[in-house]
Amino acid sequence: MNIDILAPWNRLARENVAVGFVDTLLRGTGQVMFQNNPITGLLFLVGIFYNSYQLGIAAVIGLLTSTVAAMVLGADRNLIRAGLFGFNGVLTGIGLAFFIQLQWSPVLVVYIIFGAVLSTIVFMALANFFSTWDMPALTAPFVLATWLFLFAVLLFANLHTGVLVNPALPKPNAAVYPILRPSPTDLTTGAGVTVVNLLQSFFRGVGEVFFQNNLVTGIIFLIAILINSRVSALFAALGSIVGLVTAQWLLGVDGYATYIGLYGFNGVLCGIATGGVFYVITWKSGIYALLCVLVGTVVMASLTAFLSPLGMPALTAPFVLTTWLFLLPKAGFHVLQPVALAEVAAPEQVRRAFLEKEQALPRDTLPTGQ
């Protein structure tokens, strides 16, 4: 059905270079959550601008730069058109603006541009590296480019990190307050496991995929995913929920961090990636995806502790690392059916294609795990 609605736009995008370019940019934005759909991408941008026009501008600079860089360098046209050179650029733009003191200066703009170009080069590098195992680069290019450009700022006179960067040794015996709350310091006002706080945490978890600590933005993002794939929307939601539950009840991390969704966004991405995109969705792969979310949530705490002496953010590295570990086994676990990179599409399509192929096989050669 979505295909029908998009048909006129897709035709226009094929015929008109300018429309095609806009389509590429929108798909690039959608690919941050594995949604190769221009409407999804457009709504993602709407959600970002709703929360902060400054971060929105940084996002667009990154998106434009990384995509144009891929064109200038002569990357494969099909990869470009699918938005695969945009999604790391859009995140790199926001990430650098978010953690560097937001005084708009020409230096910051130049810095974001170089960071976004680097994300394109790293994407091609990792795509080549991982082709040996038919594995996806995920948002590793964003993480790498942003870390390399962010750590460096600690030594610069022309740029400074913002207030979120506080290098300190971890204190094993420090008190941790897992009380779910909207304030970093006030432990009582509006605090506690209430429906309001749970909903805030749930939606902000989705929003933080793009560094957007905002309830409405999270809702817009979830709707945007739903437009392209119900399975992806379901696992985005499950990712945020399992992340929240793990952080709040199993581990007991700081309740403010949980409230603003910091233990949700990696789960959202883990959930979408393993829940239908890179494995055919079944009951068993669905449970495997939830396990990936749980581990990704622990890894978020782990990488945050690891980076604390530098005061640097984990970004989406927990998602990237955990998902790589959960994807690399591939057909080594017989209950899972890995999806070849060239056949990645909306989870519903992939499942349909898999079931059709399965029915065409004689009974006794059926793969297990169904």
Nearest Cα to 279, choosing from 316, 317, 328?
A: 328
Kindly state the smallest distance separating residue 103's Cβ from its own copies, in Å: 14
What is the C-alpha separation between 358 and 365, in angstroms, rounded? 9
Comparing CB distances to its own copies, the nearer of 3 and 186 is 186
Comparing CB distances to its own copies, the nearer of 44 and 319 is 319
Kindly state the smallest distance separating residue 128's Cβ from its own copies, in Å: 5
Comparing CB distances to its own copies, the nearer of 19 and 125 is 125
Comparing CB distances to its own copies, the nearer of 104 and 156 is 156
Comparing CB distances to its own copies, the nearer of 97 and 215 is 97
Kindly state the smallest distance separating residue 279's Cβ from its own copies, in Å: 12
What is the C-alpha separation between 370 and 283, in angstroms, rounded? 8
Kindly state the smallest distance separating residue 233's Cβ from its own copies, in Å: 26
Comparing CB distances to its own copies, the nearer of 126 and 280 is 126
Kindly state the smallest distance separating residue 50's Cβ from its own copies, in Å: 30
Kindly state the smallest distance separating residue 222's Cβ from its own copies, in Å: 27
